[in-house]
Amino acid sequence: VPSNAALRRERQLQALVDAAEATIADQGLAALKARDLARQIGCALGAIYNLVSDMDELVLRVGSRTLHRLDAALEAAGASGRPLESAAAATDRLVAVAVAYCRFAAANKNLWRTLFEHQMSDGKPAPAWVVDEETRLFVHAAAPLRVLAPEDDPKRLDLLARTLFAAVHGVVLFGLEERMIAVPSAAIEEAIMRLVRLTCAGLENEARPRRS
Amino acid sequence: VPSNAALRRERQLQALVDAAEATIADQGLAALKARDLARQIGCALGAIYNLVSDMDELVLRVGSRTLHRLDAALEAAGASGRPLESAAAATDRLVAVAVAYCRFAAANKNLWRTLFEHQMSDGKPAPAWVVDEETRLFVHAAAPLRVLAPEDDPKRLDLLARTLFAAVHGVVLFGLEERMIAVPSAAIEEAIMRLVRLTCAGLENEARPRRS
DNA sequence: TGTACATCAGTGAACGCGCGTTCACTGATGTAC
DNA sequence: TGTACATCAGTGAACGCGCGTTCACTGATGTAC
């Protein structure tokens, strides 16, 4: 049975993470300051260090939430639609997942950026669970690819899943950042759809080579 | 006729940019400090501000050098090889350019990262010439694509060139960063080659659709 | 050739700002008896 | 029920560090006459 004190502590921690998430979401990671958070959740500056050992820990907690929401968004995009019976269905699903990634990033720009921007201060090692949660994302790309190239070596397909994920990420990155105006942001979804479709078509083609 | 003073000033400026470039190259942008640079080029702290108005200006000068070297590397990769007569040649050239990008990034990791990491302090606007130089890079992807899909709308092809560039960038990014261990760094080149080849195959396929 | 003066790079201590983290202390809550 | 005590969250001033930029001053270089 948790004591009143433990309950209050738990609520305070949630409030802290909520405040941090909100701050990052609308002002970016660089705007996250211990003093502001203390004011927002109504406690003294030092009290924050009873809830969290570090600013890093706080950012990681927010990151974990973001990763979970992203995972859910990709899951939703991947789960809907026809079962993965035909190559066409697999292509559609892959496109849907990629577009979902794009939309999530656009709708959560600062939180999404924080996932990649944040570096542990001083000593480097990012905790293992973070890497874990990140790895889980690739699953959403792997299943449809297996349908498109069933004969392919699993290792090779895994690499392709990661590659495709990274490629889509790159397109979204160039589209959402002001810098490097490469991909006009209005055209991101179109660009991604074409990239994924072309890759799928290439893959299909590779599996069933055209007779010369 | 430049005076002795002007010559010395010019030499000092070069020394400053050299020092900044070397520092970024082997310790990263975050390690760039005015005091260190002053010590390296043998002048007082304040003297730096006779050569350069800002730390930002200095970083931009280094960035400009990096962009030029990158452009030259892509140019070299694109210019060698057979003329762009067949689709196969175009694909090869595109692959060569992508691999060259990857190698440049790997060989100039910190300088390459700086191109994307650096944000103007305070007020935002990045100077126009930076955007200009960045835009020039896409040309290397555009020409081969025209050969692969000659019938395609130029606007659409331009978007595809940017998309492909961004995609390759994403793969390199995930491969070179420690964070998000997505693409194992040993496999980057292989991953990129496959991605580009598949996209090209898809494009070729689209241009000459298989008879059902 | 020599003198007076102007210009401007060079100097480095000091300014200013920002901010995470600590720490000695306070006071409320809960427990023991 | 009442008293003494322990625990631990809460407090916010102060510490510590880092660093870009400024500024009053110095002194070398070059020009004018």
Nearest by CB to B171, which of A166, A199, A200? A166
CA distances from A28 to A61, A111, A134 (A): 15, 7, 21
At residue B2, the pLDDT reads: 59
At residue A52, the pLDDT reads: 95
Average pLDDT over residues A176-183: 77
Per-residue pLDDT tens for A28-77?
Answer: 999 999 999 999 999 999 999 999 999 999 999 999 999 999 999 999 99
Using CA atoms, how far apart are residues B33 and B176, in angstroms rounded to an integer? 25
**Cβ-defined contact of A182 to B162 (cutoff 8 Å):** yes
| More confident of the two residues B205 and A208 | B205
Q: Please report which confidence band the pLDDT of residue A2 belongs to, taking 50, 70 and 90 as the band edges.
A: low
Per-residue pLDDT tens for A84-143?
Answer: 789 999 999 999 999 999 999 999 999 999 999 998 887 668 888 888 888 889 999 999
pTM of the model: 0.92
Using CA atoms, how far apart are residues B7 and B12, in angstroms rounded to an integer? 9
**A90 burial type by CB count under 10 A (0-12 exposed, 13-18 middle, 19+ buried):** buried
Query: Is residue A210 over pLDDT 60?
Result: no
Which residues in chain A, range 157-196, keep a C-beta under 7 Å from any nucleic strand C atom? none
Give the chain B residue whose CA is nearest to the CA of A132: B180
At residue B84, the pLDDT reads: 78
Per-residue pLDDT tens for B103-125?
Answer: 999 999 999 999 999 988 876 67
To the nearest whole number, what is the mean pLDDT of chain B?
A: 92
Contact with chain A for residue B190, Cβ under 8 A = yes
